[in-house]
Structure 1
């Protein structure tokens, strides 16, 4: 029986949807009112997500059935430690970003805040859905909103990057539908829990068709996660977007990583019979190449926004190495690093936005330019963000990489993993040192620009403060994330919550 507390599971989806509609209908021409409403709704989402994480921390997987239709026939939302953790991360990220945007960036185009709320709806829905087809639906909601955010403010470069972004995601959507169709043709269901029960029972004659569908889905998720060679859309897209839009996009690559965890840890996980760990052979090799490409691209970047985009690719490579281990130790380390990389990457994009506004004609190009107003403060913030993203002590990036290296010792190719992660960190150190010296040490006469908006600076400081807090909380955080990882890989608990105790017993057998 569904309780009022269980019904709160749907709030992270419907609250931003209703807020977006309200902003369009009632506050279309009132930017100040949109800012207040958007910040207020996002702050409320932080509170709701924190409550849901506290609720999920008892170890119970909760299923919310819309319309009380029984699974697998109805729409089901599932709350567990993993989805609750990512909901809270998304809400905190969104709060910092919307505060930064309220410093003035949101006024350079129309409908920033409604698009922002619709994107939150799609992201939160993707983390909560218990159905592969509804995962596609929420992907599309998230992407349609991101198209608008990507183009917000206009400009030829942004329009060019936007066309590329739209094209690759439309192609990915087609592949997604083909993969979903193949899986449904073989199993007759798209509910994840029901798939986890039926996939091991698929006839041998149909196994190849089902595997083809599974690998097509993996291509889509790898594209969202910017896994090489499907990463090429990300640098131009993230570098071309406005600073707050690029910072918010940090969570979108994590949606791809989450989908890999959920689908290939649950549906095609260790208990999936002949199709067990169908994507596992591809993840770590591709992740290592992704890490190398990101580090090399970072060193060769000509603007701070390009550097930030390639830092995202490198961090996704590191994260997917941990996820590709498909065990509790690797997943726990990866989740710790996921939180860190999201906060650090978003902070770097916002700093790039500040630099771009303060250097006049030089903008964020890595060439000597005029001194910035507030240069010492911005330079200090850049230094902290660089340390965090490279993975130098004492911040959480260092701790996250140590955890991943330790977990990787269980892999047969651990020397390659260690070597590439450490080498990439060294290369990235040179890249950030070069960028910092050009931007903050080789500056000329003052540019005469106004100091950065207080709200924008406050958002960056808040991000970096959260990273420090994440570092200090590493002990209890990793303990909780180990429980999260074990629960995420426990097929029987998820199946039992969605389909009932009988299905859970069958899954164990």
Structure 2
């Protein structure tokens, strides 16, 4: 049994517990231990990505119970990719937070690490019920992080976030209960076998449960019309929290990818491709709504929050094509948009620190300090987010366009994506020109200096757009292999035959 699989869960769990007990220790000690924990987590995800590159499935069964019984963790290319993307984002967000952003609560670092633990459980679990548990862990931590800093500006959006997600959690439990009542299992590999065998009236019960589950994942991913909570919630959060939340919507997208290619995939008999007919058109409408919201944004953080919704629509449109090429392009785009959006949230906060009372508002103000450096970071991030050459967003969107086969779907995808990208460029150009170049007379008396941690954190996340371009070949090869593995449900089902301790597996 490969014990590396529990590292991404065990490391933040132990680190978070330590943070709980040293809440009254000097903040320098808490910061040091928190950063060590995040570095160790990043190292473990790199190891797991290397292990997953051989296209095999690795299983960790708690208590040595043979699947489908007990709790199992499953590592494949998709899980490893999501773990690595999350760990890289978390490292730079955590680095940024040690410059005063963590001072609003003694338990900031504990909540941050518990959030990472919940995310990693979601990506590794091989069981639907434990996916629900993972959602609850990361959501409980996210409630505390969202309220970090206090004030009504965070309380009201936070309340909407909490209420909607509690409703989603209740719906999640009901849907898995309906599926379990027919199949007698919630292990994903076993469900892939059992769902294909469902016949008669039971088909309608499982179908209803599957569609309700899709609604839950759509809520987590912020798909229209379940997305209006996101802009205010993300825009009101502190910068490192908002940046980390860039991965939160991707959990819903990951769940859609995992469940609806494995359990309700092409080999699911009467329930094959459940709900996928709705996914593509809703994704395009979500993309369009995100573009409209970005165009009307009054603050940089609100603009970037709408960019999250644009990315959700783009991702699901590529996934909705139902092909390996579309899935691979979506994964390439997911890497780009997660890191770039996270970086843009940090840049927006740096801008707000330099503009006095104008903060990150898209309004004219006296010339800010460090304008050249911040404008370059914003320009690079905007180009990558909008999908202009020569940065990573262009190659990601090009792969999505190439994945579409000739037909009506291709016409809609090309039309909405290209027009949406053009309007997004306008939105970023408007914001950038007003914030950085349309200055009024006067001066800003007091500003915060750009320290090394926040400069490195924001600059590195934005700079990853260049790294993705330089490594486009290996990354594209990895996402191609990930998509092929994901669409091969039979290979995943073989984990049911995995020998336990005492067998041949090491």
Q: TM-score range by the shorter chain?
A: over 0.9
- Is 2:443 the counterpart of 1:446? yes
Give the 5 Å matches for 1:53-452.
53-409=49-405, 412-444=408-440, 445-448=442-445, 449-452=447-450
Q: Is contact 1:304-1:366 (8 Å) kept?
A: yes
Q: Is contact 1:194-1:499 (8 Å) kept?
A: no
Residue ranges of structure 1 left out of the alignment (5+ in a row)? 502-509
Q: Is contact 2:23-2:107 (8 Å) kept?
A: no
- Is 2:473 the counterpart of 1:487? no
Please provide the CA RMSD for this pair. Answer: 1.1
Q: Call closer, same or farther: CA 1:356–1:109 in 2, change over 3 Å.
A: farther
Q: Call closer, same or farther: CA 1:482–1:412 in 2, change over 3 Å.
A: same
- Is 2:39 the counterpart of 1:43? yes
**How many Å apart are 1:411 and its aligned residue?**
5.9
**How many Å apart are 1:410 and its aligned residue?**
5.5
My pick for the range that moved more, 492-501 or 358-367, is 492-501
**How many Å apart are 1:350 and its aligned residue?**
0.6
SS in 1 for 2:201: helix
- 1:31-76 per-residue CA deviation (whole Å, 9 max, x = no partner) reads 1111111111111111110000100101101111001011111000
SS in 1 for 2:102: helix
**How many Å apart are 1:499 and its aligned residue?**
3.8
- 1:212-239 per-residue CA deviation (whole Å, 9 max, x = no partner) reads 0000000010111111111111111101
Moved over 4 A (4+): none
Aligned length: 497
Partner of 1:505: none
Partner Cα distance (2:10, 2:448) in 1: 40
Residue ranges of structure 2 left out of the alignment (5+ in a row)? 500-506
Normalising by structure 2, report the TM-score: 0.97
- 1:180-234 per-residue CA deviation (whole Å, 9 max, x = no partner) reads 1100011110000000000010122100110000000000101111111111111
- 1:56-106 per-residue CA deviation (whole Å, 9 max, x = no partner) reads 101101111001011111000000000001101111000000001111111
My pick for the range that moved more, 238-247 or 491-500, is 491-500
Normalising by structure 1, report the TM-score: 0.96
Partner of 1:506: none
SS in 1 for 2:223: coil
Partner of 2:476: 478
Q: Is contact 2:11-2:40 (8 Å) kept?
A: no
Q: Is contact 1:374-1:451 (8 Å) kept?
A: no
Partner of 1:464: 462
**How many Å apart are 1:475 and its aligned residue?**
1.2
Partner Cα distance (1:154, 1:33) in 2: 24
Q: Is contact 2:56-2:76 (8 Å) kept?
A: yes
Partner of 2:3: 7
- 1:13-39 per-residue CA deviation (whole Å, 9 max, x = no partner) reads 111011101011134432111111111
Q: Is contact 1:72-1:499 (8 Å) kept?
A: no
